[in-house]
DNA sequence: CTTCAGGTACGATTCAAGTCGTACCTGAAA
DNA sequence: TTTCAGGTACGACTTGAATCGTACCTGAAG
């Protein structure tokens, strides 16, 4: 019933390079921006982000975000939850999440 | 005599994706960290960063940093200067430069 | 049990990025 | 002028990342 939390790095072990690499991708940045915008930090389903990519690729992106220490993944077997590691991120890299709000969401180049 | 400033994006046009992509590379992050640490924002020579890469690759990295809007490049013909665009960066992405200080310099994995 | 949707594992493909070799340009100094 | 160090341009190589196809796993609902 209660999903098990997939492992990520400890709060003190967050690597700035890995974080920047994770946020360099448009889709991953979109996910994290959506998570950071919700101040209640609700757990969300993986398919609630409207990513225009296949589910295999989504799996890849969520894994990158988790291994960078930005999100927790909760495995329920046949579905998965995602939660922002806001406290850990703010502790190690204060102000990082606020930067994501400085970018207008869905800023994909037209044409 | 007075070098000419190579063009980069306007302050309001700084793109977060380009910035994260630029800072995802270890060498470029090292350069920007060194620049951000100097609170006097002195202009520095391109070969004052002790980058363990060829000069062609250095040219490439400085170009990426400039096109991301993070630095100004001043061309003197047979040598080049680099200056951090601190005001523009702080205006558009406040707190970003402070994040670089949270990472210990020269943190290359041993062994 | 079967069915079904969500997710993963593995491999293959495609593309972007980091790197360097060769050649060339630039300005200063001899 | 020549020489020299710093830098660029172009091309080529190599690695890593993003993407998807196929097959398989998981738990819930019939």
Size of chain A, expressed as the number of residues it contains: 111
Whether residue A92 contacts residue B102, with contact meaning beta carbons closer than 8 Å, is answered with: yes
User: Which CATH number is associated with domain B4-101?
Assistant: 1.10.10.10
Kindly calculate the radius of gyration of chain A based on its CA atoms and give it in whole angstroms: 14
**What is the layout of strands, in order, in the sheet containing B80-84?**
B4-6, B71-75, B80-84, B44-45
Question: Is B24 within 8 Å of A16 when comparing Cβ atoms?
Answer: no
- Fold of domain A10-101: Arc Repressor Mutant, subunit A (1.10.10)
Please write the tens of the pLDDT for every residue from A38-53.
999 999 999 999 999 9
Rounded Cα gap, residues A87 and A74, in angstroms = 17
Nucleotide nearest to A77 (CA to C1'): D26
pLDDT tens-digit profile, chain B (111 residues): 577 888 889 899 999 999 999 999 999 999 999 999 999 999 999 999 999 999 999 999 999 999 999 999 999 999 999 999 999 999 999 999 999 987 765 544 332
Q: HSE on the CB side for A91, CA within 13 Å? A: 11
Task: Considering any atom of strand D, list protein residues whose CB lies within 7 Å.
Answer: A 1, 21, 24-25, 27-28, 53-54, 56-57, 60-61, 64, 76-78; B 45-47, 55-56, 58-59, 62-63, 73, 75, 77-80
pLDDT score for A92: 96
Q: CA at B56, C1' at D9: how many angstroms apart?
A: 10
Check: CB of residue B30 under 8 Å from CB of residue B49: yes
């Amino acid at each position: 019933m209660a999903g098990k939390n997939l492992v990520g790095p400890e709060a003190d072990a967050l690597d700035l390079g890995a974080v920047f690499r994770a946020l360099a991708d448009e889709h991953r940045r979109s996910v994290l921006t959506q998570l950071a915008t919700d101040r209640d930090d609700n757990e969300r389903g993986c398919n609630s982000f409207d990513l225009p990519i296949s589910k295999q690729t989504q799996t890849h992106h969520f894994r990158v975000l988790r291994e960078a220490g930005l999100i927790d993944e909760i495995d329920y077997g046949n579905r998965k939850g995602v939660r922002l590691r806001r406290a850990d991120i703010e502790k190690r890299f204060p102000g990082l999440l606020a930067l994501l709000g400085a970018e207008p969401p869905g800023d994909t180049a037209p044409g």
